[in-house]
Amino acid sequence: MTALLDVAEFSKLFPVTGTSGTWTRLKQRFQGGPEKLSKVHAVDNVSFRIEKGETVGLVGESGCGKSTLVRALTRLIDASDGSVRLGERELTLTPARYFARDPDRARIQMVFQDAGESVNPRFTAFDAIADPLRRLRKLGGKALRQRVETVASQCGLPLQLLTRFPHQLSGGQRARVGIARAIAVEPDLLVLDEPTAALDVSVQVVILQLLQRLKKELGMSYLFVSHDLSVVKLLCDRVLVMYLGKIVEAGPAVEVFDHPLHPYTQALVAAVPRFGEDGATRLRLTGEPRSPIDPDPNVCRFYGRCPRGTPDCTKAMPELRQFGTREVACHFAEEFLPPAWAKA
Amino acid sequence: MTDIAVSPQRESSLAALTKHARYALSENPVTGFAFALFVLIVLAAVFGPHMVPYDPLASDTSQALKPPSTHHWFGTDQLGRDVFSRVVVATRLDFFIAVASVALVFLMGGLAGVAAGFFGGWTDRIVGRIADTIMAFPLFVLAMGIVAALGNTVQNIILATAIVNFPLYARIARAEANIRREAGFVEAARLSGNSDWRILSFQILPNVFPILVVQMSLTMGYAILNAAGLSFIGLGVRPPTPEWGIMVAEGAAFMVSGEWWNATFPGAALMIAVFCFNLLGDGLRDLVDPRRRT
Amino acid sequence: MITANNNKAPALAVEGLCVEFRTRSGLVRALDNVSFNVAKGETVALVGESGSGKSVTAYAVMGILDPAGRVTAGRAMLGGLDLLSAKPSQLAEVRGRDIAMIFQNPRTALNPIRPVGKQIADVLIRHGNVPRREAPAQAVEMLRAVGITDPARRAKAYPFEMSGGMCQRVMIAIALAAKPSLLIADEPTTGLDVTTQAVIMDLINDLAAKMGMATIFITHDLALAGQRAARIVVMHAGHVVENAPTGEMFAYPRHPYTAELIAATPDSAASLDELASIPGTLPDLRRSDLPPCRYSERCPRKTDACAQPLPLAAPGATHIVACWNPLPAPELGAPILIASTESAA
């Protein structure tokens, strides 16, 4: 069965800018060839699938590469290496610059973190929702108006608010505008980049329940990016944990958070404030993350902060290995497995 | 700092703008005064030539160099022309020069700057080098040079003023476009199927325009002064065309001998106009900044 | 864990604080009769959603309200000094030395053009009575105490060269340099990664315990408050609605809003359908006809009694609730609610 989205060995590297002038870079280029330029490995050899109707969560902290990955998947930037297949179609063959006019543009849409920033301050709510309909569905006049109103109602946005500007709307209302705009063209895959991070807890509940409902009604798949593990646990079927450009763990959301296998996931879960717990816990990450610039391909990215690190971790990069429904990239994964699961 | 619960009011965008305008004007009465003065200048420019008591070009040497009186409110100049009529009629020319220069530099500098800021790369480098080259000259000397090379016409004065102000507009526009290039709504526009040019025209430019408008008001004052300065040294408008600068130039010679009205009244008109545009620029900034709206 | 202590004189006693803001759309009654105590060495969390007034409370106490804001009533007693009516010279002495504050965005709270070591030294010299020559060395020690590696080198660095977590540590170092008796932390970890948040909160708690310092910790994250504070004060629309020791508050929330807030926190539910949102919306604080209880219009437990002014706390009560129809909690017994003798605000 073809997955809705199939990402294979995807990498995105950025040249390090600003650290060397034109002269130094020219020298590097001619003396050492282009490979000698220092590169930030924002996303490094990432592979995963999203099935139709699934909600996949993507968690990781700042610098882990999830923003870059998301921007590449939504074709705002190009890949450096690897493949991104949407159904049967290989997306990396079309440069990002030209994808805006592509017939498949409507199939992947995104809801942004801060709807206040992602809606043009000079656009009304109506304009914001109408824009993709005008550009991608070529709607106009009465048909456009009807579609915008339908979508706004689906998202629980009162119609009289459509004439307002973003700064005249509350946080929750702005979030609804962002969602309405994204689903207006009926995408197959909706990427949500921390959509409730800027919202109050009570508003967050309403928006999450709305997203849940919309997914069922419209048959979409979600890629839900968040730093809030409690929310991911509630909303997502599966979760991917990223650290410094690599996926370190993957599996069903509830299982990953209740029994994390990778030391980083364990530290992440331990750090989340839970009701009924006090702050005293022994598992704390010390030190700073390793540099993402030209990392050593043989050293585990988490080495140095990992409470379990041994010299073996510098000999070979741990690959993502499968254990039943779980995947872990750690040499010591077996030690954390429940005994019934030990790899045969 | 304060997250206060505010229930939104229902308003159409025009009603909101007028309400905001009234508030901005009431907060700062000086802006209101500048605006009224601006309207007066526009009226003088539009209707002046039809309403003045004397033909500004009609000379009557028997009436030369008469001081201000009930017949000639501002007196007469060395050729017997009524100074008042000339000052009022000159409003149209000077205002036209100001507006045309500003429009031209906004188009040239604004578009070039926005393209440079948005696309970066070679566009940015080329626009940057052009701006640097212009800024290497003392600006008035450059204006003089352009007019001297191309000839003393009103069009060339406008062109010279526009070129001299190009770096400023390009720099402002570039900075604003650069900031917004990575903004969330630009990415959202890409996801909605907008090509780069559409984004530039409909997303970026409308957000950059208000900031340039403030600068435009200030440039209008500068444009008039520039034209006046060029006229003063003989590189501007040619006689007998009434223009404030040239009137000051011709009248300056008579200051020493006591006929002060020749230079003073056009000079005062110049001062008032520039003053008005500067105040207006300050006020406009308050008006167009969307963040200051309720 | 830090224990609550009501016997000795409190480090800070806020009584009847009322704050108004003049805005172009009207007078906003941001705070109404806010009262709570912070015992010496206690960590109190001030919890609420946006618009609850928790930050306004802190800013009013520190005397750094927006110019459009005015304190119209109330006292904030720090030791024997009322911060709200103190002269600017008295405030300048007290700020930094006895009471300090750290803010949400560390990068914007630090001076971007001054090395961090110098910023710490400034406080040491001004408030810590440290001679000028010794201040740089002590600044380096402060950096070490807040867990910054290689502090001697980092002292010469500028804020933009440091990560968010490190900047927050620097801000803590600046705040604690003169060993104040009270620290106000306004959402200090919002915007930081959760692992960094854990480390920073550990740091604040450890230093507070070592120095016997009281802390007011402002946050919208109820779970975080529960983890780090001995006592929680819940605010809604400018009122204090509940004030109780942490364990008791989560086990037996008495105010309907507190219960709803707990039920809306993702951590409290096993599935998305179980999460409950809070009914209604915040009232418009510009209204002149606000009811005495600002939650009553959206409260499912509203009764006729709710039209009267909010009840006062019984003296010595440890679990204070501002409600005439609080949730029942048989283990705690019925709350003692005293009718206010003042007319409605």
Residues B20-69: pLDDT tens digits? Answer: 666 666 667 777 888 888 888 888 888 888 888 888 787 777 878 888 88
Query: Which residue from A64, A89, A69 is spatially nearest to A80, judged by alpha carbons?
Result: A69
CA B47 – CA B45 distance, rounded (Å): 6
Q: Which residues pair with B84 in a beta bridge?
A: none
Closest-CA residue in chain A for C163? Answer: A288
Interval C24-35: pLDDT, tens: 888 899 999 999
- Within 8 A of B292 by CB-CB distance, chain C residues are none
Name the phi and psi angles at C324, rounded to 5: -85, -10
A202: nearest CB among C49, C198, C268: C49
Interval C180-217: pLDDT, tens: 999 999 998 887 888 888 888 888 998 999 989 999 99
Is the CB of residue C285 less than 8 Å away from at least one CB of chain B?
Answer: yes
| A286 and C198 Cβ atoms separated by less than 8 Å | no
At C219, the pLDDT band (50, 70, 90 cuts) reads: very high
pLDDT of res. B234: 83
- Within 8 A of A61 by CB-CB distance, chain C residues are 193-196
Interval C124-148: pLDDT, tens: 998 888 899 999 999 999 998 888 8
At C8, the pLDDT band (50, 70, 90 cuts) reads: low
Contacts of residue C230, defined as CB under 8 A and 6 or more positions apart, other chains included, come to C1, C2, C3, C4, C42, C43, C44, C245, C246
Query: Over 60: is that where the pLDDT of A290 sits?
Result: yes
CA A268 – CA A249 distance, rounded (Å): 12
- Within 8 A of B2 by CB-CB distance, chain C residues are 21, 28, 30, 55-56, 66, 69
Query: Over 60: is that where the pLDDT of B8 sits?
Result: no
Interval B97-146: pLDDT, tens: 889 999 999 989 988 999 999 888 889 999 999 999 999 999 889 999 99
pLDDT of res. C343: 44
Query: Over 50: is that where the pLDDT of B294 sits?
Result: no
CA C318 – CA C44 distance, rounded (Å): 13
pLDDT of res. A34: 53
CA C146 – CA C165 distance, rounded (Å): 11
pLDDT of res. A146: 94
Interval A177-233: pLDDT, tens: 999 999 999 999 999 998 888 888 888 989 999 999 999 899 999 999 988 888 999
pLDDT of res. C6: 43
Query: Over 60: is that where the pLDDT of C160 sits?
Result: yes
Is the CB of residue C248 less than 8 Å away from at least one CB of chain A?
Answer: no
Whether residue A280 and residue C1 make contact (CB cut-off 8 A), yes or no, is: yes
| B173 and B113 Cβ atoms separated by less than 8 Å | yes
State the average pLDDT for chain C. Answer: 86
Q: Which of C:198-237 have CB within 8 Å of B?
A: 237
pLDDT of res. C2: 37
C284: nearest CB among B1, B7, B294: B7
Whether residue A97 and residue B196 make contact (CB cut-off 8 A), yes or no, is: yes
- Smallest Cα distance from C286 to chain B, Å: 8
pLDDT of res. B112: 92
Whether residue A105 and residue B193 make contact (CB cut-off 8 A), yes or no, is: yes
CA C123 – CA C121 distance, rounded (Å): 5
Closest-CA residue in chain C for B27? Answer: C24
pLDDT of res. A48: 92
Neighbours of B226 (CB within 10 A): 27
Q: For residues C114-122, give the mean pLDDT.
A: 92
Is the CB of residue C104 less than 8 Å away from at least one CB of chain B?
Answer: no
- Smallest Cα distance from A285 to chain C, Å: 7
- Smallest Cα distance from B292 to chain C, Å: 11
Query: Neighbours of C (≥3 Cβ pairs closer than 8 A)?
Result: A, B
Contacts of residue B50, defined as CB under 8 A and 6 or more positions apart, other chains included, come to none
At B83, the pLDDT band (50, 70, 90 cuts) reads: confident
pLDDT of res. B19: 67
Name the phi and psi angles at C135, rounded to 5: -60, -45
| Helix/strand number for chain C, H first, E second | 11, 13
Query: Over 90: is that where the pLDDT of B258 sits?
Result: no
pLDDT of res. B33: 85
B192: nearest CB among A121, A135, A161: A135
Residues in chain C: 345
**SS3 category, A81:** strand
Amino acid in position A223: L
**SS3 category, A279:** coil
Cβ–Cβ pairs < 8 A, chains A and C:
106
Query: Over 60: is that where the pLDDT of A342 sits?
Result: no
Whether residue A227 and residue C264 make contact (CB cut-off 8 A), yes or no, is: no
At B173, the pLDDT band (50, 70, 90 cuts) reads: very high
- Within 8 A of A286 by CB-CB distance, chain C residues are 199
Q: For residues A276-296, give the mean pLDDT.
A: 74
pLDDT of res. B7: 37
Whether residue B2 and residue C56 make contact (CB cut-off 8 A), yes or no, is: yes
Query: Over 50: is that where the pLDDT of C1 sits?
Result: no
pLDDT of res. B26: 66
Query: Over 60: is that where the pLDDT of A136 sits?
Result: yes
Query: Which residue from A77, A117, A193, A127 is spatially nearest to B179, judged by alpha carbons?
Result: A117
Q: Which of B:272-291 have CB within 8 Å of A?
A: 290-291
- Within 8 A of A100 by CB-CB distance, chain B residues are 190, 193-196
Q: Which of B:12-31 have CB within 8 Å of A?
A: 12-13
pLDDT of res. C113: 92
Interval A245-258: pLDDT, tens: 899 999 999 999 98
- Within 8 A of B182 by CB-CB distance, chain A residues are none
Query: Over 80: is that where the pLDDT of C68 sits?
Result: yes
Q: For residues A66-73, give the mean pLDDT.
A: 90
- Smallest Cα distance from A154 to chain C, Å: 19
Q: For residues B181-187, give the mean pLDDT.
A: 86
Amino acid in position C3: T
- Within 8 A of C201 by CB-CB distance, chain A residues are 279
- Within 8 A of B19 by CB-CB distance, chain C residues are none
DSSP assignment of A176-243:
HHHHHHHHTT--SEEEEESTTTTS-HHHHHHHHHHHHHHHHHHT-EEEEEES-HHHHHHH-SEEEEEE
Q: For residue A212, what are its two tokens?
A: 């849940």
Higher pLDDT, residue B158 or C105: B158
Query: Neighbours of A (≥3 Cβ pairs closer than 8 A)?
Result: B, C
Higher pLDDT, residue C235 or C267: C235
Closest-CA residue in chain B for C30? Answer: B4
Q: Which of A17, A70, A122 to mutate to test the interface with B (most CBs of B within 10 A)?
A: A122
Query: Over 80: is that where the pLDDT of B200 sits?
Result: yes
pLDDT of res. A27: 67
Q: For residues C227-248, give the mean pLDDT.
A: 92
Q: Which of C:268-297 have CB within 8 Å of A?
A: 268-269, 271-273, 275-278
Is the CB of residue B50 less than 8 Å away from at least one CB of chain A?
Answer: no
- Within 8 A of B196 by CB-CB distance, chain A residues are 97, 100
- Within 8 A of A273 by CB-CB distance, chain C residues are 221, 223-224, 226-228, 267
pLDDT of res. A282: 62
At B77, the pLDDT band (50, 70, 90 cuts) reads: confident
Query: Over 60: is that where the pLDDT of B1 sits?
Result: no
Closest-CA residue in chain B for A182? Answer: B192
Q: For residues A23-28, give the mean pLDDT.
A: 64
Whether residue A119 and residue B185 make contact (CB cut-off 8 A), yes or no, is: yes
CA C102 – CA C110 distance, rounded (Å): 10
Range in A11-20, A156-165, B47-56, B196-205 with the lowest mean pLDDT: A11-20
At A31, the pLDDT band (50, 70, 90 cuts) reads: low
- Smallest Cα distance from B285 to chain C, Å: 19
**pTM as predicted:** 0.81
C55: nearest CB among B1, B5, B6: B1
Closest-CA residue in chain A for C193? Answer: A61
Match 């997955």 to its residue by tokens: A3
At B252, the pLDDT band (50, 70, 90 cuts) reads: confident
